[in-house]
Structures are given as C-alpha cells and as structure tokens.
C-alpha cells in the first residue's frame, strides 16, 4: 500500500507492527481508508520503526 504522502497511522505493540491505516484526503474530505493487518504485507512495507 502506498499512502502517496497521505496520512498514515501505524499501530504497534512494542516492536511488532499490528496494522497500518492510510487515509486518502481529497479537498477537505476523507475519500478512502485502507487498512492493512496481514503480517506478511506489513513486513514487506517500508514502515518507520515503532520503537
């Protein structure tokens, strides 16, 4: 998932990523919300360290 420079929220427990939520904003409205919870997909994403 590419947030395209949009808003992202990383949920983690310690050093373990649990989910990423990405928001697409058009104008002043959220037009798309994408949620990733699959551990394999999370491992393949370029995420900041949750620590």
Residue 50 belongs to some domain of the structure: no
The 10s digit of each residue's pLDDT in 13-51 is 888 888 999 898 888 888 999 999 999 988 888 877 766
Q: Which domain holds residue 21?
A: 7-44
Residue 17 belongs to some domain of the structure: yes
Helix (H) or strand (E) holding 28: none
- Domains of the chain: total: 1
Question: Distance between CA 11 and CA 50 in Å, rounded?
Answer: 8
pTM of the model: 0.69
Q: Within a 13 Å sphere around the CA of 8, how many CA atoms are in the beta-carbon half?
A: 16
Residue 51 belongs to some domain of the structure: no
Residue 28 belongs to some domain of the structure: yes
Residue 49 belongs to some domain of the structure: no
Residue 29 belongs to some domain of the structure: yes
**What are the beta bridge partners of residue 22?**
8, 34
């Amino acid at each position: 998932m590419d947030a395209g420079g949009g808003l992202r929220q990383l949920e983690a427990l310690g050093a373990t990523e649990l989910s990423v939520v990405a928001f697409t904003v058009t104008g002043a409205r959220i037009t798309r919300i994408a949620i990733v919870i699959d551990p394999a997909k999370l491992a393949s994403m370029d995420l900041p360290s949750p620590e």
